[in-house]
Amino acid sequence: MARAHVTFADSDVAGRGHAAYAAEIMDHPDIPSRDTHQSATFDGGFMLECGVALPSVTVAYSTYGALNAARSNAVLVCHALTGDQYVAERHPGTGKPGWWSQVVGPGRPVDTDRFFVICANVLGGCMGSTGPSSPRTDGPGASAPLDTLQWGTDFPPVTIRDMVRAQRLLIGHLGISRLFAALGGSMGGMQVLEWAATFPDMVFAAVPVATASFHSAQNIAFHEVGRQAIFADPDWAGGEYWRHDKIPARGLAVARMAAHITYLSEQALTRKFGRRLQTPVAGVTSMFGDMFEVESYLRHQGSAFVDRFDANSYLTITRAMDYFDLAADHDGDLAQAFRGTATRFCIASFDSDWLFPTAQSRAIARALNRAGANVSFVEIASDKGHDAFLLDEPDFHRTLSGFLSGCAEHAGL
């Protein structure tokens, strides 16, 4: 049995050493070099699906609202690939609002006056949970100087199920035996599906948004482009960049730029930028002197990303998404993953999402129907693409609020 202890552990913010690169793109605000994250550490070993046992596992998390006396109003929010636990509060590193502050908060669709909301940084992440930038206390190099004791590329591969099992330790540590709801978009939706399949008795309601039951070949291909950009960076140093006080900033920024294109839609890019040029720089006459607004936007996204994310974590988490295939563990039949479940489901997609298109959400809904589950499905009209679930989408917010309110009524909350 893993033993837990709560800490507020220091964790390096990804981004140290990238200033020279970032200056080429934009001026940056001062970013703190250290953050403090609320976390729980579970000793006694944590066996990963790959067969490697971590000596201990730390899960960093944030909570909002209050747990009721019956401990029955807990909602787990699962974050996407580049998200973290700061779902509804100002990010301590970037100073930006929480990534889902439009959805989580007092009077919001996930109402923190009613629900106790938990969001955990995933296993393999870089915001306080155990991952590649965590100190390594066993194995080769364990006796090396303290500043070189990172896992780096020696960090073992993790899966979406490993992430969910780590979250389950946290939920138990908080004294919660059953979640009222689990919800999340994109990779967060994958975690929600895994929760409902692996721990069905622990989830009353599940809301997987803009997601799929497996990662497609196209999406794996996009991830590989990003990984290769990181590997090609001269500061990659075989994944041991921290030993040289550097990060592969150019490669990580390009990976983010390529991925960010997939989060948008052609309509959104045209509406926001079209073919507009920025004001030319006086005296610059080279082919690349003028910059299209969309180019500037992507460069901003790339350089801002290296302020807050670790390259080795990016590699680890993209691979975890690639491995995800919920039906594979059930003889290729997705319905078998949910057979007999009592969990109530609301599946949501967006009609302009080409990264996780509606057809993949419909396939989940059909599988749940075959499994005899209580399931509703909605496709939201939006021109914002995959990122629509993170943005101001009133129809989605009404759907989420209505579903959770109805479930709360049935649950007696």
Full set of structural domains in the chain with CATH: 3-216+327-411 (3.40.50.1820)
Q: Note the pLDDT of residue 94.
A: 86
Judged against a pLDDT cut of 70, whether residue 369 lies above it is answered with: yes
72 counts as catalytic: no
Contacts of 287 (CB under 8 A, 6+ apart): none
What is the CB neighbour count within 10 angstroms for residue 399?
19
pLDDT tens digit sequence for 33-62? 334 789 999 998 999 999 999 999 999 999
Q: Which residues pair with 39 in a beta bridge?
A: 7, 60
| Mean pLDDT of the 144-153 span | 69
Tell me which of 11, 56, 129, 186 is the catalytic residue: 186
Q: Note the pLDDT of residue 292.
A: 87
Q: Give dist(CA 108, CA 112) in Å, integer.
A: 8
Judged against a pLDDT cut of 70, whether residue 27 lies above it is answered with: no
What is the CB neighbour count within 10 angstroms for residue 69?
7
Q: Give dist(CA 246, CA 248) in Å, integer.
A: 7
Residue 399 structure tokens: 């759907």
**93 band by pLDDT with thresholds 50, 70 and 90:** confident
pTM of the model: 0.89
DSSP letter for 355, please. S
pLDDT tens digit sequence for 168-215? 999 999 999 999 999 999 999 999 999 999 999 999 999 999 999 999
Q: Give dist(CA 100, CA 91) in Å, integer.
A: 11
Q: Note the pLDDT of residue 240.
A: 93
Q: Give dist(CA 328, CA 287) in Å, integer.
A: 50
Residue 23 structure tokens: 């200056």
CA count, 13 A, side-chain hemisphere, 318? 22
- Are the C-beta atoms of 144 and 154 separated by less than 8 Å? no
Distance, C-alpha 319 to centroid of its chain: 13
What is the CB neighbour count within 10 angstroms for residue 220?
15
Judged against a pLDDT cut of 70, whether residue 378 lies above it is answered with: yes
386 counts as catalytic: yes
DSSP letter for 109, please. S
| Nearest alpha-carbon partner for 57 in 121, 145, 140 | 121
Tell me which of 84, 307, 310, 353 is the catalytic residue: 353
C-alpha distances in Å from residue 118, one per residue of 30, 207, 299: 29, 15, 33
CA count, 13 A, side-chain hemisphere, 209? 26
Tell me which of 72, 322, 386, 387 is the catalytic residue: 386
Residue type, 51: G
Residue 391 structure tokens: 């943005």
Residue 126 structure tokens: 């870089």
353 counts as catalytic: yes
